[in-house]
Amino acid sequence: MSISLRSMRKDQQGKIVAVSASGQLGRRIRDMGLVPGTEFKVVGRAPLQDPVALRMKGFTLTLRNNEADFITVETED
């Protein structure tokens, strides 16, 4: 099912369906490899629940919740 990256819990896995950000944010997201089809796992959240850390393509990436809003993912469960 398709949900926003923001609502994923720790240790949940997912696959990116769409990135709806344009401009600088969109480019930063894509330059780091968050493109449709990418599989990842939520590995942690900062002490105040935000930002979130993802494990993907052999490295760990962080982004803020309001940036995660632009990313739609498909989860297994």
Partner 1 sequence: MSKELFVAVSGQPNCGKSTMFNALTGATARVGNYPGITVDRAEGYYRKNDDNIHLVDLPGTYSLTSYSMEEVVARNVIVDEKPDVVINMLDATSLERSLYLAIQFMEIGVPVVLGLNMMDEVKKKGIRINSQKLSELLGVPVVECIARKGVGKDKLMEEVKKVSEERKGLWKPVNISYGHDLDPVIEEMKELIVEHSFMTDRYDPHWLAVKYLEEDEIIIANGRELGSISSQLEDKVHEIAAHIKKTKDTYPEAVLADYRYGFINSILKQGVISREDNLRFDHSDKIDMVLTQKFLGPIIMLCVMFAMFYITFNLGAYPQGWVEDGFGWLSSTVSGLLPDGLLKSLIVSGVIDGVGAVMGFTPLILIMFAMLVFLEDLGYMARVAYMVDRVFRMFGLHGMSIMPMIMAGGLPGGCAVPGVMSCRTLRSPKERIATILTAPFMVCGAKTTAYILIIGAFFPENPTTAMFGLVVLSWALALIAARLLRWTALKGESTPFVMELPPYRIPTLHGVAVHTWDRVWQYIKKAGTVILAISIIMWALMTFPQLPAERVAQFDQQRQTIEQQSMDWTGTKDEINDKLSEALSEVDFAESQATLQNSYAGKISDAISPVTNLAGFPWQANISFIGAFAAKEVFVSTMSTAYSLGEEDPEEATPLQAKLAADPAWTPAVIWSVIVFMMVYVPCMVTVAVIIRETNWKWGMFSVFGSMGFGYILSVLIYQIGTALGY
Least Å distance, CB 12 to partner 1, is 11
The residue within the footprint of partner 1, chosen from 6, 17, 56, 69 (CB under 8 A), is 56
Is 44 a residue that touches partner 1 (CB under 8 A)? Answer: yes
Is 9 a residue that touches partner 1 (CB under 8 A)? Answer: no
Q: What string of H, E and C letters represents the secondary structure of the chain?
A: CEEEHHHCCCCCEEEEEEECCCHHHHHHHHHCCCCCCCEEEEEEECCCCCCEEEEECCEEEEECHHHHCCEEEEECC
Is 61 a residue that touches partner 1 (CB under 8 A)? Answer: yes
User: What does the binding site for partner 1 look like in residue numbers (CB under 8 A)?
Assistant: 13, 18-20, 22, 24-37, 39-41, 43-44, 46-51, 53, 55-64, 67
